[in-house]
Chains A and B, each alone.
Chain A
């Protein structure tokens, strides 16, 4: 492992500075900015098409903004994107699961690429999201809510300083929503930050200290 890999890019805060993003001829993000210290949760809300997903993808460096910067501890994340990526977990509104793999295989490949994944940790995460009974079934046979739970199991395995979550509670039953809230509360308790795009209220275990309202 070389030196650059072991450098922690995150110790204090995530900052967005005057982000402008155009998608085709639409000006989606018009000067978005915020400061988010570690240990706090930022809720991004706004009507459909307001640019919530665009903002999350810009924050994690998939979209290059036309103007503005994303800063981690005051340093432009583009200076070392790979180290920044190592310290974040992005969960889109569709879980990145393969229909032809089982839930367990999906997690092993998806998360295993990122972190060392011993069997007990994997089993623990699957049991935690209530997947013990069906974790060896192909994902194509699972319901939307069950897939979402597999995604949550992936989240539970990633102790990165930053979580970027796009509608994490869609398709979940009340028990699943409580679970999502619990995971998010743990992330905050251990000093991690969360940026979450959500229409609904967040589960009440999560106190979003900051809210960012995007206009359509």
Chain B
């Protein structure tokens, strides 16, 4: 299609025929825009794999430190497994946050998103979804494996996986809000943690509770439902707030 220099002239002819068009016919539907925003971030992430692997490696390493520091006794490890998994997941997801908006703010991508004529809230939601696919989801997949190494029985693994999947959705959204708020700052690492951790406490409480119940072999639906409620709340509010924060940072 771009074989000859001649094809250069098909462009201009088409261009001249089109009158200025504010939107309507040419405007990309919101769903297409979101799909492109997600696939852009996924493509970029797979070109820079080290950023992807770091939080995961961190998560595995932290969970492996506990048997060394406390005791290799499986019964004792099992009793602290839920807490260990969730604290490690929380810290690992924090690690991945710095990259969420930073590059896009620097190279002008966020600016173009804000001027795209699409809802910025929606585009940031898409970005956060990509971020969750790249960090929250792999962390959730890793959690059952880490749980096995902490002496948890195989019967508890589905419960751990489900509670992690639901919990990390909220963590990603809270993280998006916090990193949008710290966009204007040069070194935001510590502040990012200070903003994110208090907001994440409910996720930690209900997530660890659901996991604990799953490990003990009890019904864990109640805390799981509360986790899901938190996720719904975060999905509704966090992108709105993040969009407002991004607009302020662009000014």
Contact = CB atoms under 8 A, between A and B. Distances in A.
Contact of A114 (B16, B39, B118): B118
A187 B15 CA distance: 9
A90 B39 CA distance: 23
A159 B26 contact: yes
A83 B12 CA distance: 27
B22 A87 contact: yes
A98 interface: yes
Contacts of B14: 121, 124
Given A85-B117, A86-B22, A116 B111 contact: no
B22 A161 contact: yes
Nearest to A114: B116
Contact of A116 (B1, B22, B27, B37): B27
B69 interface: no
B85 interface: no
Contact of A96 (B5, B10, B11, B108): B108
A109 B20 contact: no
B170 to A, nearest CB: 26
B1 A86 contact: no
B36 interface: yes
Contacts of B43: 101, 105
A79 interface: no
B19 A159 contact: yes
A215 interface: no
Interface string B237-250: 00000000000001
Contacts of A96: 107-109, 111-112
A12 interface: no
Contacts of B48: 100
A75 interface: no
B114 interface: yes
Contacts of B112: 90, 96, 110, 113
A108 interface: yes
Contact of A119 (B1, B19, B29, B251): B1
Interface size class of B (residues with CB under 8 A): 35 or more
Nearest to A108: B36
B2 interface: yes
Nearest to A39: B20
A7 B108 CA distance: 28
Nearest to B26: A115
B32 A6 contact: no
A127 interface: yes
A35 interface: no
A38 B118 CA distance: 23
A57 to B, nearest CB: 8
B23 interface: yes
A63 B107 CA distance: 18
B1 A88 contact: no
Interface in B114-128: 114-119, 123
Contacts of A128: 8, 11-12
Given A90-B111, A108-B36, A190-B20, 12 more contacts: A62-B114, A82-B118, A82-B119, A83-B117, A85-B117, A92-B108, A98-B109, A101-B40, A112-B32, A114-B117, A115-B28, A159-B18
10 contacts: A82-B117, A85-B115, A87-B23, A90-B111, A100-B47, A100-B48, A105-B40, A110-B109, A159-B19, A186-B12
Closest 9 CB pairs of A and B: A86-B117, A124-B11, A96-B108, A87-B22, A109-B40, A128-B11, A86-B23, A115-B26, A100-B47
Interface of A: 1, 5-6, 8-10, 38, 60-64, 82-83, 85-88, 90, 92, 94-101, 105, 108-110, 112-117, 119-121, 123-128, 130, 132, 135, 156, 159-161, 182, 186-187, 189-192
